[in-house]
């Protein structure tokens, strides 16, 4: 009887893992990163998670803030390791609340090594230049580059290890899915 239940529990666990795993639909673009003399290539993508399409490169439009979020992965099947760039734009700082994307009011760049709470490289002294073109009501094209000083943190909210800080730079070329946050 024990073997019967153990076999069914194991089978159920495997089936649950397969059903919960994301199905991949579309590559949106690329991101390259040069750090410590090595260049790595990453991809942005749309993927299906539990029947819903999720996009790793988005432009979210709100009444007060617009946000560009780009999350890139080292390969199509990767989930835990990722490279994330987030730029926030205030409509209050533009003329007539327009959505002109000049200089972001806030920029975050993080290279996650093992999931959201795990070790990471966080950038400071960030410089970003980009060109954003809305190609339709549902999509935009983002092309640009970035550089900063990347410091190693063992976990979320940890203090950066100052002796680990090194310059890094990269470029991105990706489609953004436009979402309205209203």
Comparing 63 with 125, which gets the higher pLDDT?
125
**Residue 54 above 80 pLDDT?**
yes
The Cα-based distances of 173 to 42, 98, 99 in angstroms read: 11, 24, 20
- Decide: 25 and 48 in contact? Cβ < 8 Å: yes
Q: What is the mean pLDDT of the chain?
A: 83
* Encoded tokens for 177: 């899915």
The Cα-based distances of 56 to 23, 30, 95, 125, 162 in angstroms read: 14, 11, 30, 24, 30
Model confidence pLDDT, tens digit, residues 60-106:
999 889 999 999 998 876 778 899 999 999 877 655 545 567 788 89
Q: What is the pLDDT of residue 79?
A: 72
Give start and end residues of each alpha helix (H) in 21-82: none
Q: Report how far residue 105's alpha carbon sits from residue 67's, in angstroms, rounded to the nearest whole number.
A: 10
Q: What is the pLDDT of residue 2?
A: 39
**Cα end-to-end distance, the chain, whole Å:** 55
**Residue 141 above 90 pLDDT?**
yes
Model confidence pLDDT, tens digit, residues 103-118:
888 999 999 998 788 8
Contacts of 167 (CB under 8 A, 6+ apart): 147, 148, 149, 150
Contacts of 11 (CB under 8 A, 6+ apart): none
% of the chain exceeding 70 in pLDDT: 80
Model confidence pLDDT, tens digit, residues 8-51:
433 333 333 333 344 545 899 999 999 999 999 999 999 888 88
Q: What is the pLDDT of residue 31?
A: 97
Mean pLDDT of 149-154: 95
Q: What is the pLDDT of residue 41?
A: 95
- Selection from 143, 150, 152, 148 nearest residue 171 by Cα: 143
Distance of CA 70 to the CA centre of its chain: 4
- Decide: 142 and 68 in contact? Cβ < 8 Å: yes
Q: Report how far residue 140's alpha carbon sits from residue 58's, in angstroms, rounded to the nearest whole number.
A: 9
Partnered with residue 168 across adjacent β-strands are 35, 148
Q: What is the pLDDT of residue 95?
A: 56
Entry pTM: 0.79
The Cα-based distances of 101 to 50, 74, 85, 170 in angstroms read: 33, 28, 15, 20
Q: What is the pLDDT of residue 123?
A: 97
């Amino acid at each position: 009887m024990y073997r019967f239940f153990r076999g069914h529990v194991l089978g159920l666990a495997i089936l649950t893992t397969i059903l919960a795993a994301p199905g991949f639909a579309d590559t949106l673009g690329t991101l390259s990163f040069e750090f410590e003399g090595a260049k790595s290539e990453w991809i942005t993508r749309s993927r299906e998670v539990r029947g819903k399409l999720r996009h790793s490169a988005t432009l979210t439009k709100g009444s007060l803030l617009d946000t560009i979020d780009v999350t890139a992965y080292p390969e199509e099947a990767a989930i835990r390791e990722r490279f994330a760039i987030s730029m926030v734009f205030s409509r209050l700082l533009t003329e007539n609340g327009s959505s002109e994307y000049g200089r972001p009011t806030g920029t975050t760049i993080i290279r996650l090594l093992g999931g959201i709470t795990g070790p990471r490289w966080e950038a400071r002294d960030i410089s970003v230049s980009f060109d954003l073109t809305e190609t339709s009501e549902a999509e935009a094209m983002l092309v640009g580059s970035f550089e900063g000083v990347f410091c190693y943190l063992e976990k979320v909210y940890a203090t950066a290890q100052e002796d680990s800080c090194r310059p890094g730079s990269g470029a991105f070329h990706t489609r953004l899915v436009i979402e309205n946050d209203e």
